[in-house]
Amino acid sequence: MSESGPEMSLVCLTDFQALAREHLSKSTRDYIEGGADDSVTRDDNVSAFKRIRLRPRYLRDVSEVDTRTTIQGEKISAPIGIAPTGFHCLVWPDGEMSTARAAQAAGVCYITSTVASCSLEDIVTAAPTGLRWFQFYVHPDRQLSKQLVHRVESLGFKALVITVDTPVCGNRRYDVQNQLRRNLTLKDLQSPKKGNSLPYFQMASISTSFCWNDLSWLQSITRLPIILKGILTREDAELAVKHNVQGIIVSNHGGRQLDEVLASIDALIEVVAAVKGKVEVYLDGGVRTGNDVLKALALGAKCVFLGRPILWGLTCKGEHGVKEVLNILTNEFHTSMALTGCRSVAEINRHLIQFSRL
């Protein structure tokens, strides 16, 4: 898409945002950028990071800085991954296949969405050696859910990410105005016997009754680690540990579900305190710079995941754009580590930050 004019220099994630906005139709732009209600939480996700200040340590040997880490025992090149977002074909012809290739090349985890616009088989074929988790909306039809889980397992996905903050869809005004959902189809929530895609509105049959006690059913049908995405409180974090899940993604769905909840980085603090190191905690929402990554890790996140910035990169340059977004953020994070005196992610800790009085 960037061939339409002289290519501007893209040096940070917000540069990709500005260029992506120029390329996208109004309805697609609104779908990606939109938040719920007044978008208070969407905006606070970004601004909350700026209320945190860094406390750098100097006179340390930072001639070698290592950004590598692990999540669920799997090695990744940096604590930065791709959050689940749907319908990548809206912004680039190869959609999620391009996203998967970029993640594989970068050596990071790609959480594939239930509402991907490419089939899981095509995504896996595009990036066979990449680390993949699968984001899962539990369907009211347990047999359908079970078939999808087994398909995901057989395709080599390494974890199931259960989105918990969507028993019903948030009030996204732009999508209603644009009537966007009528035009979207999805490839994976369908009976294997029928090749036809279901219209997106039928996907609205996400289970509204799935609750804590149902997790044991899910654990009985899969050996994959189960990670809960959307936990925002100490109480739910404690219940997650009690129900033997393997990880938590602190997330407010990019501010697209319930507006006026805590920014992800603010909610991270109580969730990390609640789990007491028993499960890995991750974060998505509002990460735009290397400093943001450092701050999330200092507050106890093992890894952060990017949502909208990946779609901006994909819009601008497809696979290469996603690679660039990941590369820019990793390089910024590397610099942030060096400038705070951290030679490895293990050295990033709470003493590196303080909360601003601004």
**Cα–Cα distance for residue pair 251/305, rounded to 1 Å:** 10
What's the CA angle centered on 26, arms 21 and 28, to 5 degrees? 80
Q: Which of 49, 46, 35 is nearest to 259 (CA)?
A: 35
Q: Write out the E strands in the chain.
A: 52-54, 69-71, 74-76, 80-82, 110-112, 132-136, 160-163, 185-186, 198-199, 226-231, 247-250, 280-284, 303-306, 353-355
- Token duo for residue 355: 């909360």
On whether 135 is known to bind a ligand per the annotation, the reply is yes
Please answer whether residues 60 and 89 qualify as being in contact, where contact means their C-beta atoms are separated by less than 8 angstroms.
no
Residue 287 marked as a ligand binder: yes
| 307 assigned binding-site residue | yes
Instruction: Map residue 228 onto helix, strand or coil.
Output: strand
Say whether 29 counts as a known binding-site residue: no
CB 299 within 8 A of CB 266: no
Contacts of residue 70, Cβ cutoff 8 Å, sequence gap at least 6? 76
- Does 172 appear as a known binding residue? yes
Q: Is 257 part of any known ligand binding site?
A: no
251 is in an annotated binding site: yes
Rg, the chain, Cα only: 19
Q: Which residues are catalytic?
A: 253
- 174 annotated as belonging to a binding site for a ligand: no
Task: Please list the alpha-helical segments (H only) found in 303-345.
Answer: 308-340
Query: Does the annotation place 256 within a ligand binding site?
Result: yes
Does 31 belong to an annotated binding site?
A: yes
Report d(CA 3, CA 5) in Å as an integer.
6
Q: What is the rounded CA–CA span in Å between residue 239 and residue 165?
A: 15
Alpha carbon 354 to its chain centroid, in Å, reads: 26
Tell me whether residue 58 is annotated as binding.
Answer: no
Tracing tokens 């139709």 back to the chain, one arrives at 25
CB-based contact 289:329 (threshold 8 Å): yes
> Is 286 known as a binding-site position?
yes
Q: Is 86 annotated as a binding residue?
A: yes
HEC sequence for 140-165: CCHHHHHHHHHHHHHCCCCCEEEECC
Please give the structure tokens belonging to residue 112. 């594939």
Binding-site entries for glyoxylate: 31, 137, 172, 253, 256
Annotated binding site: 31, 84-86, 113, 135, 137, 163, 172, 229, 251, 253, 256, 284-288, 307-308
Which parts are annotated binding residues for FMN? 84-86, 113, 135, 163, 229, 251, 284-288, 307-308
